[in-house]
Amino acid sequence: MKVLIALFCRPLFCRSLFCRSVFCRSVFCRSVFCRPVFCRPVFSLLMLATLWLGGLTLSASNAFADRRPNILWISVEDISSNLGCYGDPHAVTPNLDRLASEGVRFTRAFTPAGVCAVVRSGIITGLYPPAIGSQHMRSRIIPPSDVRAFPERLRAAGYFTTNRSKTDYQFDPTDSIWDLQGDGHNDWRDRPDPDQPFFSVINFTQCHESQIRHSDAQHRKVIQQIGAENQHDPAVVADTIPAFLPRTPATQKDWARYQDNITLVDQLAGEVLDRLQEDGLADNTLVVFWSDHGMGLPRGKRWIYDTGTLVPVIMRWPDRMGAGEVRSDLISVLDLPPTMLKVAGVPVPRNMHGRLIVDDQGDEASDEPPYLFFHRDRMDEVYELQRAARDRRWKYIRNFEPDKPYSQRLDYMDEMPTMQDWRRLHAAGELTGGQKNWFAETKPIEELYDTENDPWELTNLALRPQYAERLARMRQATERWQRQIADTGMIPESVLMEEMKPGGVTPKTDPPSIRRDGKQVSIQSSGDGVSIVYQVFDNGKWSDWKLYSRSFPSDGRVRCKATRLGYRDSDIVDLKI
């Protein structure tokens, strides 16, 4: 135990310039001495990452109030703002363009990281992933006990919650989060009471990175769906390929397919919006369209440059948010969870990191932050460690492992034809300028970009003396943010996971207790961070899992279990007649 405590009680930032410790994460020494900023065990570190979390709403109103809005999320994967409403000259996106004309388009909306599961872990909890240990791609974490998935709070308040169908939260979803999860349902149309407000998430995967490099036969099916007249010509769209990518036939083909896939997603989004209109629900539904990170191409997805984190976000709420409005303030997708809770009249937990984009009247609700923050950690088999800050114009990046090149090989990324051409041209010595930068043998310790004049972030200004003050200010802001969230990225992943799951074993939630007094059924569980779900046996079958919030009448069979994020569910406890 003393050895473990010694490991954890180490500096978050080593102040010694010449320190050779494996824990040394900073070269910005102001002293020859190593001064610890944090010294506490991992569990204390994790608890600092989240403040006190208010309890779930204990009961929902028996009568659903008409004034509570419905909420519909249309989420997509791996796209930047390559939509017509964002000014892309080749975009064929009439449905999303119309949505923007009827609502608010955000021009500075960002994800905190550049990869799907990591970002989704932040969105479902409302917390920066390094605050809960979910920053490494493809990990199975246990969030702190005071962290809950925000849809569960909506569900506890009487909302009917559905998800179709991606989760990918870096922990398994529990049955307490969604009334309906998966592909076998009809979203809001399956709610038992047509007056019940709903929160429905519909996620489209057709624009995922893997769908750019799919077979020609598969892509012909895409063209059949969108129509040959809407297919993008690789030669025509080549003028908008990011400057850092090589202009090869393979790159042009990938870029055209990326645009085709966005057109397909636009068509599918239009069908969802049409269903909402057909059901007479459009006027009382807040619609949010967003992408989980930027374009699924090299130096886009997985990276914290704007190509990996600047995403389209459109919100429509008739009579509450102005039609055709454009907002240029900084927002993060981490702002979505607290905003949805506020809109629904549900208390916002104080530990959430996002701000309110709008309030329950549709007005801008809280001040724009001076900076948004970003992180890049292990990506599949590739270890990396970057932190970043951005204001409306400037981007600061800190490379904690500058000895590693940008261009580390990553199997999944390297399947992309564009990536293969890029590596081939580098090996042949045929790259110049910004296309060559990515293959430098090492990275600079710091990067600073003027995104207004350098949107592809190719000219690093960090060493230019005229920017020294700005560099120092953004460096300090980044380190202050790391301290505020208790950045678990400073802890070796193996150590962090051993604290969460000693011996690699996922713990199991203790079973709840259930009793019946007359016809009233009560369920209790004493575990921290635990939610209870139950089923009733009716008409010869078990119901879907229901979220337990208070006792309920039943004279038939009832069974229940306890759940907690990151844990295995408890055994099922059956209350028989």
DSSP one-letter string for 97-115 = HHHHHHSEEESSEE-SSSS
Catalytic residues: 116
Q: How many CB atoms lie within 10 A of CB 427?
A: 10
Per-residue pLDDT, 557: 96
Task: Give the amino acid at 522.
Answer: S
- The rounded distance, in Å, linking the Cα atoms of 441 and 447 is 16
What is the DSSP pairing of strand 520-524 with strand 552-553? antiparallel
Whole-angstrom CA distances from 360 to 286, 348, 356, 363, 474 are: 11, 12, 10, 8, 33
Pick the CATH number of 70-209+273-361 from 3.40.720.10, 3.40.470.10, 3.50.50.60, 1.10.150.120: 3.40.720.10
Say how far apart CA 536 and CA 540 lie, in whole Å: 10
Digit-coded pLDDT (tens) for 357-411? 998 887 777 899 999 999 999 999 999 999 999 999 999 999 999 999 999 999 9
How is residue 77 written in tokens? 């994967």
Residue 443 CA: distances (Å) to CA of 205, 374, 438, 473 = 33, 18, 9, 21
Collect the ranges in the chain with pLDDT lower than 70.
1-66
Mean pLDDT of the chain: 90
Residue-range domain boundaries for the chain: 70-209+273-361, 386-504, 513-575
> What DSSP character marks residue 211?
G
Would you state the structure tokens that stand for residue 200, as one six-digit string?
């429905």
Distance CA(265)–CA(262), nearest Å, equals 5
The predicted structure's pLDDT at residue 498:
98
Q: How far is 533 from 531, CA to CA, in rounded Å?
A: 7
What CATH topology corresponds to 513-575?
Answer: Immunoglobulin-like (2.60.40)
Task: Return contacts of 461-466, CB within 8 angstroms, 24+ apart.
Answer: none
Which positions ≥6 away from 516 have C-beta within 8 Å? 522, 554, 558, 575
- For the chain, helix, strand, coil in percent to 5 are 30, 20, 50
Q: What is the pLDDT of residue 48?
A: 33
* Look-up of token digits 């990396």: 384
Note whether 129 and 112 are within 8 A (CB).
yes
